[in-house]
């Protein structure tokens, strides 16, 4: 059986070349098995609760963990944050599950997270509590950082190297994710001065990242926070994307900023794609494989 498997794997590079020449995008093969544990509480966040005296309650926030069966001795981790305009979406989105499974089969621990949305009506500092929408954006950033701290705090339990943690944000998840990537750990750690960070949220852990993947989001709100010691960044955006808060030129500005600061990066301008360039391909490789190349290089 072992020699048969080797023959199959030796055939794969030739298959990739053949498909690339034919114009069919392919994804780099994965042979690893993995297990999935669902609905793990990773943090607590304040949400509206009319039944409470102050109208708020702490709710558990959950994620799914996709963990490779073979960990020798540790593996890098990637946290996945879905899109949905801060009003919808979840860790059960088909594309998020595809990415988590793809990465786990290739030796990465993947964590797909839920976060608070507009309907949860979370609190926020006065500068963010202008509308339910802006409050939800702030809460999503807080939750993104809490998820990073959770993975780092539980690195040993999941076989993760705490010094090799990446984050992938898509659309709304990218708006929150890029904030987590380029701001200090102490920033966005709680819902505001009146809502100290819950002990369950691992306040003593760092929310630093070693790589960040930015899918069709905006970073305009944090461009002035970017510095040369920020993690390597991969940017993907459809050139025809005219979605409010996530237009293509927002990624052009992010690209200009990371180039100015000399941050290692990749910028994939997905010609002809609108919002959600999931089917983008380059060099015969699909988007998941391009992401894997980036993560392999920097983690």
* pLDDT tens digits, one per residue of 191-205: 999 999 999 999 999
Residues of the chain above pLDDT 90, percent:
88
Among 150, 207, 154, 200, which Cα is nearest to 44's?
Answer: 200
pLDDT value of position 72: 87
pLDDT value of position 40: 98
**Separation between Cα atoms, residue 293 and residue 121, nearest integer Å:** 38
pLDDT value of position 24: 60
**Separation between Cα atoms, residue 173 and residue 102, nearest integer Å:** 19
What is 32-298's CATH superfamily?
Answer: Alpha/Beta hydrolase fold, catalytic domain (3.40.50.1820)
CATH 3.40.50.1820 segments of the chain: 32-298
pLDDT value of position 121: 97
For residue 253, give every residue at least 6 positions away whose Cβ sits within 8 Å of its Cβ, in sequence order, or none: 219, 220, 223
In the chain, which residues have pLDDT < 70? Answer: 1-24
């Amino acid at each position: 059986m072992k020699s048969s498997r080797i023959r199959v794997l030796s055939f794969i590079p030739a298959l990739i070349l053949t498909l690339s020449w034919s114009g069919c995008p392919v994804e780099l093969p994965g042979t690893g098995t993995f297990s999935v544990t669902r609905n793990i509480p990773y943090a607590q966040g304040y949400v509206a609760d009319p039944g409470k005296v102050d109208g708020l309650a702490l709710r558990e926030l959950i994620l799914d963990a996709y963990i490779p069966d073979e960990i020798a001795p540790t593996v890098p981790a990637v946290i996945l944050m879905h899109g949905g305009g801060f009003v919808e979406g979840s860790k059960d989105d088909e594309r998020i599950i595809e990415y988590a499974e793809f990465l786990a089969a290739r030796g990465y621990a993947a964590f797909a997270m839920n976060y608070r949305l507009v309907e949860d009506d979370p609190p926020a500092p006065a500068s963010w509590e202008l509308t339910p929408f802006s409050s939800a954006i702030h809460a999503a950033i807080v939750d993104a950082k809490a998820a990073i701290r959770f993975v780092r705090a539980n690195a040993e339990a999941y076989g993760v190297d705490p010094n090799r943690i990446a984050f992938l944000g898509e659309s709304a998840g990218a708006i929150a994710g890029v904030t987590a990537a380029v701001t200090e750990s102490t920033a966005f750690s709680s819902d505001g001065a009146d809502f100290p960070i819950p002990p369950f949220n691992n306040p003593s852990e760092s929310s630093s990242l070693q790589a960040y993947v930015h899918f069709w989001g905006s970073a305009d709100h944090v461009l002035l926070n970017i510095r040369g010691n920020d993690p390597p960044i991969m940017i993907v955006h459809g050139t025809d994307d005219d979605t409010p808060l996530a237009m293509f030129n927002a990624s052009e500005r992010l690209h200009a900023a990371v180039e100015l600061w000399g941050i290692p990066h990749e910028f994939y301008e997905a010609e002809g794609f609108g919002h959600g360039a999931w089917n983008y391909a380059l060099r015969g490789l699909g988007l998941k494989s391009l992401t894997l190349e980036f993560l392999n290089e920097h983690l």
